[in-house]
Amino acid sequence: MALSYPTQPGDIDHLIADDHAIVDRQFQHLEAGRGNRRVLVDQISFELAAHAFAEEVVLYPIWPEIGMTDEHDDAEHEHQQIKELLVVLGKTEPGEPEFEESLTTLIQVTRHHVDDEENDELPQFRAKAGAERMAELGKDFLTNKREAPTRPHPHAPSEGFAEKVAGMLGKPLDMVRDMASGRQKELATDASGLLNPQAQAIVDALSSFGPLPFEVLKPEQARKQPGPDDAVKKVMADRGISGPEPVGSVQDLKIPNGADGEQTLRVYTPSNAGDGPLPIVMWVHGGGWVLFDIDTYDASCRGLCNKTNAIVVSPDYRRAPEAVFPASHDDVLTAWTWVRENAGQLGGDPDRMAIGGESVGGTMAAATSLQLAANGQPTPVAQVCVYPLTTAEQFGESMEDAADGRPLNRALLSWMAMHAFQGKPEAATDPRIALLDWTPAQRASMPPTLVITDERDVLRSQGQQFARDLEAAGAPTTHRYFAGVMHEFFGAAAVLDEAEQAQQDAAAHLTRAFSTR
């Protein structure tokens, strides 16, 4: 569950609670007897080792200073128990009595520790240390998770500078052991057993690159990591599938952005263009306003171009933290206006323009429609929101049951928000982010909308609520839900049946709207 008091995404207590939610969901998989028990325990060990290290270096030395000595001693003792149990689990195998007994005890001790920390210790700490200190400690917490050993070290110093030195010495040895054992190539997969085989192959492919957790890296480091498109390309190569999907032409243009600079607009034209002007789809890429670019979402644009026989344009907007909210939104709106005013030179029809996107691209698609309607400008003839973020709050049951999802987990979602809203906490309540807070009139101003959600996705609940809200307000709304797949599945049509069907659904929604004009 979320903490019982308000926090910002980068606050140390918020980050700690995200870690707790991820590990507890993995515990639930183990208790239910589903998924890969060895991989789940290895992932839990990795997560708890980094989490304990960062807490012991950043948080625990402060507690006695502010009068929380008893809490400090209890937490330190429980961390020691957890580490010792993890060592046993690393040396034994599922099904062995010692493994199963240690796992049962680990779950009990960890849950007791989490209950004390979230309901007593963290609220006390915030009250005594001050809310303004939480964000700075959050940065320190992530820095130390980056430097943490990847395995538990129960005999290392318990906190502060000595712990940090021990971690720096231990991490290289741990990484060698992880590489030799193959553990490193399993840490980023979804081991829940809830994905279908095709989807599982994709997350396994991503994990096989051995990526570091996005959610502890600096943005410039995270952008060098493999993305969802790399995973799909690996599965395609493994299966002998050629790519990318051919279209008539692909051209990159330079157009103005919202800051008197330039942005790239990629234009996909279908092979069967014909003689008359074509409809246009603006497709906005995702990445939490921080990661990825138009290359990452190239497959989605190619698929929609062919399935709609429309021109697809993809704006490469500015990203945070270099350009925080509302820079990305401004660029998308600017790109929409430019395309509408210059549709003719693209071979397109300005009166048959639609918008859509994936993840925060779906957020920005809906936000653009809202801004156009509010300004009395022509709105898109249709929109498609694929697993959109519709609130900055930790909303709904999917924040719990998909907390451990891959490639997007709850900690990564907070990391993205932390960078996207840096220095602007008020952005979280802006109508361009807080879509669930819209008035009935704002919802009713939306064009015919298709909302696509999926099972293993922390954004599932809020996307489904957005669809219900639009429908209740009278906006023509269709919702399509896909079980057994994960966030970022839409562009994987070459290797995932659900992605192909989702693209077909999106294309049918768009072409129906185009045919009425």
Query: Which of the residues 29, 153, 419, 487 is marked catalytic?
Result: 487
Amino acid at 337: T
Q: Which two tokens stand for residue 215?
A: 């959610």
- Using CB atoms within 10 A of its CB, is residue 146 exposed (0-12), middle (13-18) or buried (19+)? middle
Residues 227-267: tens digit of each pLDDT: 999 999 999 999 999 999 999 999 999 999 978 899 999 99
Catalytic status, residue 204:
no
Determine which helix (DSSP H) or strand (DSSP E) holds 385, and give its type and residue range: strand 383-386
Please tell me the least confidently modeled range out of 54-63, 175-184, 418-427. Answer: 175-184
Of 350, 372, 222, whose CA–CA distance to 296 is shortest? 222
Please tell me the least confidently modeled range out of 6-10, 266-270, 289-293, 492-496. Answer: 6-10
pLDDT band per the 50, 70, 90 thresholds, residue 159:
low
Q: Above 90 in pLDDT, residue 169?
A: no
Strand order in the sheet with 278-284: 249-256, 262-269, 311-316, 278-284, 348-358, 383-386, 449-456, 477-486
pLDDT band per the 50, 70, 90 thresholds, residue 41:
very high
pLDDT for 160 equals: 60
DSSP E strand stretches across 190-338: 249-256, 262-269, 278-284, 311-316
Q: Above 80 in pLDDT, residue 166?
A: no
pLDDT for 182 equals: 76
End-to-end CA distance of the chain: 47
Residues 6+ positions from 489 with CB-CB distance below 8 Å: 199, 202, 454, 482, 496, 498, 499, 502
pLDDT for 156 equals: 64
Residue appearing with tokens 């991503």: 206
Where is pLDDT greater, at 451 or 275? 451
pLDDT for 380 equals: 98
User: CA-based Rg of the chain, rounded to a whole angstrom?
Assistant: 24
* pTM across the whole model: 0.95
pLDDT for 157 equals: 61
Cα separation, 203 vs 267, in Å, equals 29
- Using CB atoms within 10 A of its CB, is residue 289 exposed (0-12), middle (13-18) or buried (19+)? buried
pLDDT band per the 50, 70, 90 thresholds, residue 434:
very high
Q: Which two tokens stand for residue 411?
A: 């900690």
Q: Above 80 in pLDDT, residue 30?
A: yes
Mean per-residue pLDDT for 104-125? 95
Catalytic status, residue 487:
yes
Please tell me the least confidently modeled range out of 165-179, 368-382, 391-405. Answer: 165-179
Q: What is the DSSP string of 153-176?
A: -TTS--SHHHHHHHHHHHHHHHHH
Q: Which two tokens stand for residue 64?
A: 């006695």
Residues 309-334: tens digit of each pLDDT: 999 999 999 999 999 999 999 999 99
Catalytic status, residue 314:
no
What percent of the chain stands above pLDDT 90? 83
- For residue 119, give the DSSP letter: I
Query: Which of the residues 102, 208, 359, 461 is marked catalytic?
Result: 359
pLDDT for 151 equals: 81
Residues 457-479: tens digit of each pLDDT: 999 999 999 999 999 999 999 99
Query: Which of the residues 19, 174, 457, 469 is marked catalytic?
Result: 457
Averaged pLDDT of the chain: 93
What percent of the chain stands above pLDDT 70? 94
Residues 197-229: tens digit of each pLDDT: 999 999 999 999 999 999 999 999 999 999 999
